[in-house]
Amino acid sequence: MVPLLPPPWYNEGPQWSTSLPGEKKKAVDIDSVAGYAENVCELIGRTPMVKLNRSLPDDVVAGKVLVKLEMQNPGGSVKDRIALSMIEEAEKAGKITPGKTTLVEATSGNTGIGLAMVAAAKGYKLIVVMPQVPTMYERYVTCKKFGAEVHLTGIVKDDVKASIHKLIGYANDLCAKNPDYWSPNQFSNDDNPLAHMEHTGPEIWDQTGGEVDCFVAGCGTGGTINGVGTFLKTKKSDCNIVVVEPTESRNMLGEEPKLHGLTGLSGITGPLIEKLAPGQPWNGEKRGPIDEFAHCATPDGLAMANKLAKMEGLLVGPTSGATVKVAIDIAKRPEMKGKTIVALAASSGIRYTRHPMWAPECAEANAALPNPPDLSSVEPLVRWKSEDYVPPETK
């Protein structure tokens, strides 16, 4: 396996050994322990990859199913990568200046958090525009914690496309009315897939030693599948590139987008995928580096996210559950025998505690932790055991 390049803040230096009595001494580079990054932006990327074990069914024939853990980015998601790329490329082009420019972005949340983190490190003001729905709770409070302002737009009942257009339109109007405002516009900015072409893709190639036969990622803005897919195809033309959208919203097959519970899988035919084959009908045919347009239903994605937590120790969000579900399904195909499949986990499950996937745990925690707490006496010592909890019957 080809090792990853060390981070930019890593320097070779004197070594010392650490071992228990009787063990073979292990050389440890002291600078790799004591070194530091100049700022949080240097910590973005170089995320780990892990092999699935206990969650794989018996009929899997693939040699390995690996998961790229993008929640290990400092801001907690794959969107840290594009936030840094879009901001730094705009700085190079002279479009924005810290302390002068206010950044404005429409987002379902993770890009907003990534931008808020980078903006805080670089000294930019930021306005994050999100839809006013309960599942934005964690995103709202996290963006505020980083110092960003948050504007919430209304949604159009039963009309996903209109809701998205209102969200993006509001952000664009803000920029049009204020000369010192600038929007990265993640849905059409080429510096979005650039981050994945220059970093995420090469990392996956190096981490697998070039032995990647299939790559699976959620649709989102299209930046990840565009950038990683394009890079991997240049290294291995027969690598199968698969993009995942919600079963309930097969927009990339030409259907109208509909409501679903896989937060982050926008299901819109965005410019970053459109430009891979301009003018080509949206009918599920191969498009640029994308070989397959797969899908996952919301209940299946949530079930897989829960399974990964309980059987692999991987706390991932609903989108990642859907992506891994598709990767495992592909791993059962006869042509995948002995092959290596890589699925991208975009964000951590802890970011979705207001999502229905957490409803049973939240209901139990609310019962277990009354507010105010019971201070009536010091006895009994143990007031609650989770194994004794009986959920209320649902109507």
Instruction: List active site positions.
Output: 79
Q: How do 149-153 and 340-345 pair as beta strands? A: unpaired
Closest CA to 311 of 20, 38, 41, 65: 65
Question: Which residue carries 């794989």 as its tokens?
Answer: 56
Rounded Cα gap, residues 395 and 392, in angstroms: 9
Write out the E strands in the chain: 15-18, 26-29, 49-51, 64-69, 102-106, 125-131, 149-153, 181-182, 214-218, 240-246, 292-296, 340-345
Rounded Cα gap, residues 224 and 215, in angstroms: 11
Rounded Cα gap, residues 167 and 129, in angstroms: 7
Between CA 249 and CA 257, with CA 254 as vertex, the angle to 5 degrees is 30
Q: What letter represents residue 159's amino acid?
A: D
Rounded Cα gap, residues 45 and 38, in angstroms: 15
Between CA 327 and CA 326, with CA 82 as vertex, the angle to 5 degrees is 10
Question: Which residue carries 């292990």 as its tokens?
Answer: 26
Rounded Cα gap, residues 180 and 103, in angstroms: 9
Give the DSSP per-residue string, 83-145. Answer: HHHHHHHHHHTTS--TTTPEEEEE-SSHHHHHHHHHHHHHT-EEEEEEE--GGGHHHHHHHHH
Query: Cis omega (within 30 of 0) on the bond before 380?
Result: yes
Between CA 61 and CA 23, with CA 1 as vertex, the angle to 5 degrees is 105
Q: How far is CA 63 from CA 277, 321, 339, in A?
A: 32, 20, 5
Rounded Cα gap, residues 27 and 14, in angstroms: 10
Closest CA to 286 of 295, 276, 275, 296: 276
